Each structure stands twice: as C-alpha cells, then as structure tokens.
C-alpha cells in the first residue's frame, strides 16, 4: 500500500519543495511530487511542518549502544546499528580500528551475513588501519599498527568483497602497491593517521587515494622543521581540488571555525559528516569499549588526555552542529550526511537523495532541528509525531 507524506518542506536535489509530498511503496520512493492532493489509494502521514530530508549515511562509525564492531559478532553489530538508526543513520559502514587479520575476517563474515538480509542498512566494511604512522596513532591500538603487508591485504581482499574503504598513511613504504591493489578490488583507499606532506599525498592520490579520513584529526598542518617551513597533510589535501574529506562534526574534534573553513574550501559536494562514534555513543554508558579511553566534555579521550579517541556523536547532532554552531544552510548540512557520503562510497544510484526509484530512507527534523522521525528502507525506526506510522510503510 502506498504511503503519502504531506505537510513538510522536502529537500530535493533541486532545493526545498514546500507544498509537495513524498510517496513510498515498500522500501522505495515512487514519487516526489510538488502536489499535496491526496492520492485516493494511499495512506497519508502528516509531517506537521517538519523538514523532510534524506536519511543519514555514516561512512565512519566504530560502534554504539554499548557495543563495538571490533567484537565481530552479529549481536554486537545489530545492537550498534539499531542504536545509531534511532538517531537518523539509515545506512552505515561499520568501522574497525587497527585490528588483527582474524578480527577483520570475523567482522567481514558478519558484514556479509547482514548485507545479505532484505532491506539491510549495512553498506560494507571500513578498515581504519592498521597501516598507520605510529607517531599519529591517536586512539588506535599500537600493538596492531605496522607498515602495509602485501601478504595480509592480498589475503583479506581475496577473502571477502565487503571491504569498501581502507585507511592508510601514504608516507609508509608500500603505499603505491597497496593503493593500486585496493582500487583493483573496488576498495577506496583513504589518507589517515599520517604525517604525509604534499609529495606523499599527491603520489597516493594518483593511484586512487581520493578521500581524507577525519580531516584535521591525526594529521599535521603547516609546520617547521628547523629553520624551514613545510606544508602538512591538511594543506596538501586542500591543494588537490578533487579530494573529498570527512569531518567529525561533534563540535569537539574540530572547532567551528575550522569546520567553517572546510565548508568554504571543500564545500558540501566534497565534505561528508561522520560520527566516528565509539561503543558508548547512543547509550547511557559512561565507559568506553577501550579501557584506555575516558568520556569527558562530551567526547572520548585517551585517559592521559594526550589525544581525542573518538566521539559519542549521533547523526542528528552532526546536523545541529553544522547549522547552529557553524552557521551553514540546513540543506547543505543534510547533503553532507546523505548525498555526499553516498557519492564517496559509490551508492548514490540508490541512496542519498529523495528521488523516484531510490531507497525509502527519510528523516524529519522539526524547526528546532530535533529529530522527529526515521524511516529506513521503508521501515519506521522512530516516530515522535501524533500521526501513527506502521512498523513498515
């Protein structure tokens, strides 16, 4: 049966539409119309004047609801995914911090099982490490960090097809072979936890490193070495126009002034918002999954306060930070949680915008940007309206 969502401001690829409707059948959008006339065969749903926007796509998230994806079990995955979906994440790329090969295999097996289920929100697996610069390890587990190992990554890329992105420090020996191998297997190699300068970043970009992980975090900017000045990874990424970036828009990892700078120079087309959330996100937990990590000031830190270690952010918080603290238009913040990450990860043909034929992934904010409703693949995850919604539209 059709469901017609009425009485809201709809974000379309062309901009805001007022006085229209979104029509859903099962897990698909069958029409986005500029007409509010009731379709006789459809149930109607009153959006009560809310903003109706595409569902959030989190391409970097470690866990939530008290569970971490490094656990590798279906139970842990289900708990973390459900926790984030309640706050506006309708599609997700589970992320592993630097891990051993058996840990990656276990998580890949679980990812395959979940992706095979109907209407799954899981888009694949994201490996953050272990090929990082030890000096920029941050909250990564140091016992797993090493240089690119062809035996390991060839094995893993042959073992599974669910790895969609893999982060690495491009100054490490073996970067070029690693990047080329990732691209050959349909995996996006990304710049992360690095001290790379322009020649490193440019060489990596040429073989497929087109994305920078948690931009500004675990990477240097402009700096001096003795009497001479050098560009950092940050400036190098800015200098390559087509490189995309992701930022942790929790208002803690990157200050609002820098978020505004990223928006100004990379723009909403090349900037994705991520949570980089740890297990304690979207939960009442006061402890992190990693015993070295504490929760303080609304963010996760290493206990010695030498580095940030991840966030407790949820998708709705990212939007509020960018609009209320940074001051960007709501439509751009929404594109940065939906359309842009969909393009980066290669799922933009079916996700990321409210258009005919795309997946029925929809979230709704009231005028104060409080999240009121979440619909993922036609399934109602959250509904705080007075109008009832069935568990599956």
Q: Centre a 10 Å sphere on the Cβ of residue 112 and count the other Cβ atoms it contains.
A: 15
Q: What is the pLDDT of residues 141-154, one digit of tens each?
A: 899 999 999 999 99
Separation between Cα atoms, residue 118 and residue 338, nearest integer Å: 21
pLDDT of residue 322: 98
Q: What is the DSSP letter of 392?
A: B
Question: What percent of the chain lies above the pLDDT cut of 90?
Answer: 83
Q: At 127, which helix (H) or strand (E)?
A: strand 125-128
Environment class of 344 (CB within 10 Å of its CB; exposed 0-12, middle 13-18, buried 19+): buried
pLDDT band, residue 128 (cuts 50/70/90): very high
DSSP class per residue in 263-327: HHHHTTTSEEEE--B-TTTTSS--S-SSTTEEEETTEEEETTSSSEEEB---HHHHHHIIIIII-
pLDDT of residue 392: 53
Q: What is the DSSP letter of 238?
A: H
Residue 393 pLDDT exceeds 60:
no
Residue 224 CA: distances (Å) to CA of 23, 136, 167, 230, 300: 57, 17, 26, 6, 29
What are the backbone angles phi and psi of residue 274, rounded to the nearest 5°? -130, 160
Task: Give the pLDDT mean for 86-90.
Answer: 98
Q: What is the pLDDT of residues 306-357, one digit of tens each?
A: 777 788 999 999 999 999 999 999 999 999 999 999 999 999 999 999 999 9
Residue 166 pLDDT exceeds 80:
yes
Which has the closest alpha carbon to 306: 97, 138, 134? 138
pLDDT of residue 390: 59
* Token code pair at residue 230: 């050098």
Separation between Cα atoms, residue 245 and residue 282, nearest integer Å: 24
Cβ 115 vs Cβ 164: under 8 Å: no
What are the backbone angles phi and psi of residue 278, rounded to the nearest 5°? -95, 180
Separation between Cα atoms, residue 61 and residue 279, nearest integer Å: 9
Residue 189 pLDDT exceeds 90:
yes
Which has the closest alpha carbon to 120: 96, 94, 84, 92? 92
Separation between Cα atoms, residue 162 and residue 164, nearest integer Å: 6
Cβ 123 vs Cβ 347: under 8 Å: yes
Task: Give the pLDDT mean for 41-62.
Answer: 95
Cβ 319 vs Cβ 338: under 8 Å: no
pLDDT band, residue 138 (cuts 50/70/90): confident
pLDDT of residue 29: 98
Most confident of 50-64, 211-225, 280-294: 50-64
């Amino acid at each position: 049966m059709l469901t017609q969502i009425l009485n809201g401001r709809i974000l379309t690829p062309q901009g805001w539409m007022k006085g229209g409707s979104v029509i859903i059948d099962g897990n698909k959008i069958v029409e986005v119309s500029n007409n509010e006339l009731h379709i006789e065969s459809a149930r109607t749903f009153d959006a009560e004047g809310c903003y109706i926007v595409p569902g959030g796509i989190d391409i970097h998230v470690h866990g939530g609801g008290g569970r971490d994806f490094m656990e590798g079990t279906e139970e842990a995955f289900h708990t973390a995914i459900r926790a984030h979906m309640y706050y506006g994440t309708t599609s997700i790329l589970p992320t592993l911090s630097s891990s051993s090969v058996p840990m990656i295999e276990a998580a890949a097996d679980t990812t395959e099982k979940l992706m095979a289920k109907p209407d799954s929100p899981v888009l694949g697996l994201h490996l953050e490490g272990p090929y990082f610069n030890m000096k920029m390890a941050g909250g990564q587990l140091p016992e797993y960090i090493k240089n690119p190992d062809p035996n390991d990554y060839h094995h893993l890329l042959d073992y599974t097809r669910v790895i969609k992105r893999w982060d690495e420090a491009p100054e490490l020996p073996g970067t070029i072979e690693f990047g080329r191998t990732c691209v050959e297997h349909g995996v996006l190699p990304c710049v992360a936890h690095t001290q790379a300068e322009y020649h490193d970043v440019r060489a990596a970009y040429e073989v497929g490193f087109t994305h920078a992980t948690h931009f500004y975090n675990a990477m240097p900017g402009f700096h001096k070495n003795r009497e001479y000045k050098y560009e950092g990874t940050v400036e190098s990424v800015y200098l390559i126009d087509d490189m995309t970036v992701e930022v942790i828009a929790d208002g803690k990892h990157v200050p609002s002034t820098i978020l505004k700078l990223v928006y100004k120079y990379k723009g909403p087309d090349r900037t994705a918002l991520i949570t980089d959330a740890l297990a304690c996100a979207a939960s009442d937990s006061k402890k992190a999954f990693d015993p070295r990590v504490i929760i303080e000031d609304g963010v996760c830190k290493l206990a010695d306060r030498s580095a940030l270690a991840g966030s407790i952010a949820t998708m709705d918080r990212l939007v509020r930070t960018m609009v209320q603290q940074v001051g960007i238009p709501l439509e751009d913040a929404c594109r940065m949680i939906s359309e842009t990450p969909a393009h980066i990860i290669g799922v933009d043909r079916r996700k990321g915008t409210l258009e005919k034929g795309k997946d029925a992934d929809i979230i709704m904010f009231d005028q104060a940007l409080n999240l009121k409703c979440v619909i993922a693949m036609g399934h109602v995850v959250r509904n705080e309206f007075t109008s009832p919604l069935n568990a599956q539209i």
